[in-house]
Amino acid sequence: MNSSVSDPLITFTVYSSAFLYNVAFAICVFLVYISILCVNLLLVIVICAESRLHRPMYILLVNLAVSGMVGASCVCLSIIKNLLMDKQQTSLQGCFTQVFFTNIYGGCIYCILALMAYDRYVSICKPLQYHNIMTPTKVKLLLVLVYFILALSTAVQVYLTSRLELCRHTVDKLLCDTISVSRLSCETSSLLSMYGLCCVICVFVLPILLVILSYVHIFIVIVKTSKGFQSKALHTCTPHLVTFINFSAATFFGFIYNRLGFNVPVAVSVLIYFNFSVVPSILHPIIYGIKMQEIRLSISKMMTKKIMQ
């Protein structure tokens, strides 16, 4: 980003006015962060250790857990650092790093949820073709493609933002994001706005449409089946639906929050960031661990084996 200052520092003004007990709050955030790592790592270890779980749905679930840990690490570690430092500042490069990883996190969650919805659609609507359509190799290739596209598109967005001329150096939020950084510039960029809109459509709108279409077809199929099949299908889809609705609500409120500008209470700012990155990261593995019988059985099997040893 062009600026008269060779290495400008970005100051987060929200911390100085929000927290009288910074150390206590930092400890709370740290404990939440450790909890997120524990539940997600447990899910990853269980799925990786059990060969019978090396199937498309569980491969996607592992990547969902890893994405959650990345998002929580970016948000929680940055908040803890700012709470414990005398000056809540970061370098411009550090600010762009936050933008990059938070954007990657949000895009990954939506794309993985879209792939999980498609997996449920094939499993329920085309059961005889499932093993030909959804193979572990195809799912891994799709995930690699998703990560590549997200990394490339986000890198371009960060580059375009870095070309803006910097006139201000204060952000009234917990972390940097694309909109807050672009508001620090001296002028608006129509190119950046158009590119950001295209990214939102490709990374968020299209996956949402895929999820909606998948569940429309699923519900059309299950209403024509027996009560037993309906119960089994709904039991299979419930964890994904809860996860998708929760994250969509968090993303929607986050989008509204970013568009409102600076006139937002500090408490709302904290709630929005935690609801977007922290709550889904700890809620998703708990939901799947409770609702999916095979994961529960695998956890019980591993715990019994450890106790016997």
For position 6, what pLDDT does the model report? Answer: 55
Mean pLDDT of 122-131: 89
| Highest mean pLDDT out of 19-28, 199-208, 263-272 | 199-208
DSSP 169: -
For position 4, what pLDDT does the model report? Answer: 42
> For the sheet containing 170-171, what is the strand order?
89-91, 9-12, 170-171
Query: CB of 208 within 8 A of CB of 111?
Result: no
Strand pairing report for 170-171 and 9-12: parallel
Task: Look over the chain and give the mean of its residue pLDDT values, rounded to a whole number.
Answer: 83
Count of Cβ atoms closer than 10 Å to residue 29 Cβ: 19
For position 309, what pLDDT does the model report? Answer: 63
Is position 4 within any domain? no
CA–CA gap between residue 57 and residue 126 (Å, rounded)? 15
CA–CA gap between residue 129 and residue 121 (Å, rounded)? 11
Tell the residue number behind the tokens 């250790």, with chain if given: 49
Q: Does the pLDDT of residue 101 top 80, yes or no? A: yes
- Helices assigned H by DSSP within 183-226: 190-200, 206-222
Is position 196 within any domain? yes
More confident residue, 142 or 240: 142
Mean pLDDT of 37-50: 89
pLDDT band at 169 (very low <50, low <70, confident <90, very high): confident
More confident residue, 13 or 81: 81
pTM of the model: 0.87
Is position 49 within any domain? yes
> For a pLDDT cut of 90, what percent of the chain falls above it?
24
Structural domain total, the chain: 1
For position 5, what pLDDT does the model report? Answer: 45
Is position 151 within any domain? yes
The range of the structural domain enclosing residue 190 comes to 9-308
For position 64, what pLDDT does the model report? Answer: 92
More confident residue, 8 or 39: 39
Is position 73 within any domain? yes
Is position 267 within any domain? yes
For position 91, what pLDDT does the model report? Answer: 85
Is position 3 within any domain? no
CATH number of the CATH domain containing 86: 1.20.1070.10
Q: Does the pLDDT of residue 18 top 60, yes or no? A: no
Mean pLDDT of 254-276: 72
Tell the residue number behind the tokens 């715990």, with chain if given: 303
Query: CB of 22 within 8 A of CB of 174?
Result: no
Q: Does the pLDDT of residue 76 top 80, yes or no? A: yes
For position 3, what pLDDT does the model report? Answer: 43
For position 142, what pLDDT does the model report? Answer: 94
Is position 58 within any domain? yes
CA–CA gap between residue 119 and residue 278 (Å, rounded)? 26
For position 116, what pLDDT does the model report? Answer: 92
In tens, the pLDDT along 242-254 reads 888 888 888 888 7
More confident residue, 228 or 65: 65
For position 182, what pLDDT does the model report? Answer: 81
